Every structure is written in C-alpha cells, then in structure tokens.
Chain A
Amino acid sequence: DTGVSQDPRHKITKRGQNVTFRCDPISEHNRLYWYRQTLGQGPEFLTYFQNEAQLEKSRLLSDRFSAERPKGSFSTLEIQRTEQGDSAMYLCASSPDRRGEKLFFGSGTQLSVL
C-alpha cells in the first residue's frame, strides 16, 4: 500500500491554458474522489467515481472541468481555459468503502494560475 499518489505536486500556468492532473489511488480502492481546497478552508467536493463510473458532480464543477477514470484505476482531472479563480489545491482521495467513508487523501496538486 503506497498511498494515493498525485502528479504533479505543483503546477503554474497562465490564464487561458489547459491543465491536467493525475491521481493514482490505493490499489483495489473502488471509490475515487476529487476535492478542491483553498487557503484556510476545508476541502470542497468536486466529483467521485465508483470504479470507472462518474456518479456525482458538484455544482462547483463547471463545464471547463472534466474528470475521467477510464479503466477504474487512475483518474485525470482536466481544467480548460484556466482562470485565476481556479488557483487552489486539488486533492484526490480513494476509499475501499461503498458508503463513502474513511477517505485516504493524496498530497494534492497545487495549481497557480497567473
């Protein structure tokens, strides 16, 4: 068990560019979550997958955001036409539990949009 891995750890981009983040969950964890966290705040739910199926998306997830988990293992989160308001820590978590309990988080990808 190597934990949840996220790549890259840091990303600096210019406004209007597209960015993609990757998350590798703990092996055999069926559930994978994406959260966003801004400074001084708790993580905010974005979306989650049960295996390869995306089952719920937050209203925070605008049409510029898209997440995939094609083979039910790793996941990607893409942000198109980035805006300064997208600057945040993007956290991935996985869980072996079907009830969405006890999430194990990665270290996150810190996005800065200039």
Chain B
Amino acid sequence: GESVGLHLPTLSVQEGDNSIINCAYSNSASDYFIWYKQESGKGPQFIIDIRSNMDKRQGQRVTVLLNKTVKHLSLQIAATQPGDSAVYFCAERTGGGNKLTFGTGTQLKVEL
C-alpha cells in the first residue's frame, strides 16, 4: 500500500542552527499532513499541521512546507535548541479518511 516515509533517520545540528526534517509521501489523495514530536517515554506531541490547499504554514519557530508536485513535506525549526532533541514524525490523512498514517520518524540531535 501507499505509505509515508522519511529521507533521513538521524539529523544532527548545532544549537542555534536551523533544522530541516524531510518527509516523502506517495498517496496523491492525501489532503492533510501533520508533524509530531516524540520525546523518549512520551506520546507524540502536536507541532504543526497543513492542508493540501496550502504550500506553507508557520508556527512559533517552526514552518511546514508542502510540495504537492513532488509529494514532499518538510519541517523547518529555527534556532534549534537542546529541547528540540526528539524523534519527529510526519503523518498524512488520505482524503475522506478518518485516521492518520505515520512515517518512520527522524531522530533530531542538537549538539551544544
């Protein structure tokens, strides 16, 4: 079946730098995307979401970009902090569906 996947399993960045986490999806019928952050021993925490009729959405220090032409989603974190260290998941909802399908995840490590 179609699935959501991530390009990089681990991303290391220096504190203060910007981070970019990428996600590829293959279901062109997906109409909603969402990013979650998961720290060790905790459940996924909502970061930001975007609908397929948008290309970009900004939050506090985070930006999500959606490129439907190449079926690519990215999460940008500005001025990365040690507290940003976690696993990041992208998830999609296929049009008309009622559940989110998650990708594998990217481990973000922030180096001091």
A65 at the A/B interface (Cβ < 8 Å)? Answer: no
A61 at the A/B interface (Cβ < 8 Å)? Answer: no
A111 at the A/B interface (Cβ < 8 Å)? Answer: no
Are B99 and A42 neighbours in the complex by a CB distance under 8 Å? no
A21 at the A/B interface (Cβ < 8 Å)? Answer: no
User: Could you give, for residues 1-21 of chain B, a 1 whenever the CB lies within 8 Å of some chain A CB and a 0 otherwise?
Assistant: 000100000000000000000
What residues on B are CB-neighbors of A45 within 8 Å?
Answer: 99-101
User: Could you give, for residues 44-79 of chain B, a 1 whenever the CB lies within 8 Å of some chain A CB and a 0 otherwise?
Assistant: 111001000000000000000000000000000000
A43 to nearest B CB, angstroms?
Answer: 5
Point out which of A45, A55, A104 has the most chain B C-beta atoms below 10 A from its C-beta: A45
B83 at the A/B interface (Cβ < 8 Å)? Answer: no
| Complex partner residue of B99 from A4, A33, A91, A104, CB under 8 angstroms | A33
Interface size class of A (residues with CB under 8 A): 20 to 34
Question: Which residues 60-109 in A have Cβ within 8 Å of B in the complex?
Answer: 91, 93, 99-108
User: Could you give, for residues 68-103 of chain B, a 1 whenever the CB lies within 8 Å of some chain A CB and a 0 otherwise?
Assistant: 000000000000000000000101010001111111
Are A106 and B43 neighbours in the complex by a CB distance under 8 Å? yes
B104 at the A/B interface (Cβ < 8 Å)? Answer: yes
Offer 22 A-B interface pairs, CB within 8 angstroms, sorted by A: A40-B104, A40-B105, A42-B4, A42-B103, A42-B105, A45-B99, A45-B100, A56-B98, A99-B93, A100-B93, A100-B97, A100-B98, A100-B100, A101-B34, A102-B46, A102-B49, A103-B46, A105-B36, A105-B43, A106-B43, A108-B42, A108-B43
